[in-house]
Structure 1
Amino acid sequence: MTHVVLLSGPDQSPLPGLDGLERKARLTLATDETSLRQSLPEADILLVTDFRTDLLERAWPDQPKLKWVHAASAGVDRLCFPALRDSDIVLTNARGNFERGIAEYVLGAVLMFAKDTLTNLHLQRSRSWQHRDTETLVGKRVLVVGAGAIGAEVARVLGAMGMRVTGVARSPRVQPPFARVVGQDQLLEQLPQADYVVVTAPLTPRTRGLFDRHAFRAMAPHARFINVGRGPIVVTEDLLHSLQSGEIAGAALDVFDPEPLPPEHPLWTLPNVMISAHMAGDLVGWERRLGEQFMANFARFERGESLLNVVDKSSGFITNGR
């Protein structure tokens, strides 16, 4: 019988949506290094819902029997440590569960900036009546850094609002709904033209630290920065300086480096910043959908069929679709 190990945090509830798995496989729950070390050497499949990278890397067996690792997340950067990355083990992710939620989050952030909602809330708390003009979205220019499934859904939603959306990918290509997609080597050239810069890219060696002081200085002073990708894509102290100095006009941040954002960090108190707790894609029912997605791929595994959402472990990008 196929042996499935579920790596879950000690405080996490069991992943819903795995109905019937215990009848089809031997299922072992691992919540700490000891239980993971005991169960992993004989496992065929590893389902990861807890992304404590050092734990999995420390417990990794010398000669794993694993055939498949599934990440119940869109990002797989925390799983691509050398032993797994350089192996023949198939890695899949949860593409298809987060695109719409993240796109709606980005639209909400854009509307928040355009309609000056942060100021409205501040004035409401102080009971201060101040009439102001606000902006429209029509014709505004958006640069979406990351032209994968999430970035494309962001482009579709913002494009429907009359915004002009350019994508940034590893290389240029024609890809509706983007007006165009340019290569990452053109990032600094494109940044000054954008009213909004949205990061949806995965964390890879090429994107780590991509947004540093040079990138923020290239942005227009009126531009707003939205990060729904990964925290380490941004050099946090450079972003903080740009916001405090007025180099950029504001930021909406769902991911951070470090994460969680420490309570004493200055980003919490900046008036032009919205902070959320890595939740942009988590729509009601998302955990059950993750479980059901794994079960659908598990059925393919049992039938000997190709798995969906296979990730190129060297780049962090999907090699096949849903």
Structure 2
Amino acid sequence: MTERDAAGRPPRHQAVTGAIVRSASDDATARAVQVGAAAGPIAIVPDAEPRFAEAVTRAGGALAQLSADTRGLVWTSSEGEDELEALLAAHPQISWVQLPWAGVDAFAGLLRRHRDDGRVWTSAKGAYAQPVAEHALMLALAALRELPARVRAGEWVADERGRSLYGADIVLVGAGGIAVELLRLLEPFGVRATVVRRSDVAVPGAARTVTTDRLTEALSTAEVVFVVAALTDGTRGLIGRDELAALPDDAILVNVARGGLVDTAALVDALESGRLGGAGLDVTDPEPLPAGHPLWNAPNCIVTPHVADTEAMTVPLFAERVRANTAAFLGKSRFEGLIDLDAGY
């Protein structure tokens, strides 16, 4: 039965999980941890939003306050690494932890320290892919059509500027749920898409898949680059001066993943020099982006304040992830959004 919202409408978005292309090692990891969680009462901390609580019970889980009996933990704060660390130290019996966001860089230190603790760790990766991919497409189209200058104009300027997305050479840096959904949204435009990822496993909808060591090569013909990778120690600053220099003149960069994936100073220089055709950013480094920062006024640059997936979109999607993983915790299905503790995402 399809779940409906308070107004009786079907959900606007669905998680993008089953379509994500995994490597053989990813599947082996999933099989290994599937049996790692010992089922028991589940606690939601610190904010037991009613829809999250309902998701646990709907899946058949036993919802209870945090205690010595707790075996599953749904952590609902995007911050609080120290608080979560203390909670886990006080409750070593917890065998499954669900984190709230697709990106887990805010918990990177904690995940490293608990890499061998035997717990199952899951995130929301794939859950928010549809709204984020939609936002990424909007940013790309807006930059291609020079909207920053258009919306600021105080007079009619028919300068004939603007380019089309149809038939463009596209690069997606990352191969998770956002990339999968973006490829689906881009199909009507007839783009030629290259995916850059850790492995060279083919991604449906992409003309080719290359490994990260070939990033510069892939960028050399890109008209639009979508940054949709996870932020880890290995990917921080992945798009730096050399990568931006490898892009053709007038290329567009869109980042809806994490600001730290892109060298901000290098991006500002590329935009201000006029060589980069534009940028659409829902994430920045630093974040929040301070008032007066050069990115706010950089040529053909759009900055949105990390709102690709708003609370109205994420709450029902996270509730569904909680329901699915509660069922997995009870041995009824497979966990979604498993965190690879070695890779860090």
TM beyond 0.5: yes
Give me the whole-angstrom Cα distance separating, in 1, the residues matched to 2:245 and 2:83: 38
> Which one-letter code corresponds to 1:19 in the other structure?
E
1:93 correspondence with 2:123: yes
SS in 2 for 1:193: coil
Query: Residues 77-88 of structure 1: matches in 2 within 5 Å?
Result: 77-81=105-109, 82-88=112-118
- In structure 2, what is the equivalent of residue 2 of structure 1? 41
Shift of 1:169: 0.6
Q: 1:80 to 1:129 in 2, by over 3 A?
A: closer
Counterparts in 2 of 1:163 and 1:174: CA distance versus 1, 3 Å: same
CA contact (8 A) 1:17 1:289 kept: no
Output aligned runs, 1:1-322, within 5 Å. Answer: 2-8=41-47, 14=49, 16-19=51-54, 21=56, 24-28=62-66, 43-52=70-79, 54-56=81-83, 59=86, 60-61=88-89, 64-81=92-109, 82-123=112-153, 126-282=154-310, 284-303=312-331, 306-317=334-345
Q: CA RMSD in A?
A: 2.5
Question: What displacement does 1:281 show?
Answer: 3.1
> Residue in 1 aligned with 2:13?
none
TM-score w.r.t. structure 1 length?
Answer: 0.84
d(CA) in 2 for partners of 1:109, 1:79: 28
CA deviation after TM superposition for structure 1 residue 18, in Å:
2.4
- One-letter amino acid of the counterpart of residue 290, structure 1: F
Aligned to 1:85, what secondary structure does the other structure show? coil
Q: Aligned letter for 2:64? A: R
Which of the two has greater strand per residue? 1
Output the TM-score relative to the length of structure 2.
0.79
CA gap of 1:313–1:135, structure 2 versus 1, over 3 A, is same
Q: Given the superposition, is the C-alpha separation of residues 83 and 303 from structure 1 closer, same or farther in structure 2, using an over 3 Å criterion?
A: same
Equivalent-residue separation in structure 2 for 1:144 and 1:278 (angstroms): 19
Aligned-residue offset at 1:110: 1.9
Instruction: Give the letter aligned to residue 153 of structure 1.
Output: E
- Pairwise CA distance, 1:67: 0.6
Further displaced range: 278-287 or 138-147: 278-287
Q: What secondary structure, in the 3-state scheme, does the structure 1 residue paired with 2:210 have? A: strand
% same residue: 31
**Distance in 1 separating the partners of 2:162 and 2:261:** 31
| Paired amino acid for 1:138 | Y
Query: Once the two structures are superposed, what CA deviation does each residue of 1:64-104 show, in whole Å capped at 9, x if it has no partner?
Result: 22211111211122223222233211111223422221221
Q: Which amino acid aligns with 2:151?
A: L
Q: Structure 2, unaligned stretches of length 5 or more? A: 1-39
The 10-residue stretch of structure 1 (65-74 or 302-311) with the greater mean CA deviation from structure 2: 302-311
2:170 counterpart SS class:
strand
Deviation, 1:27, is 3.0
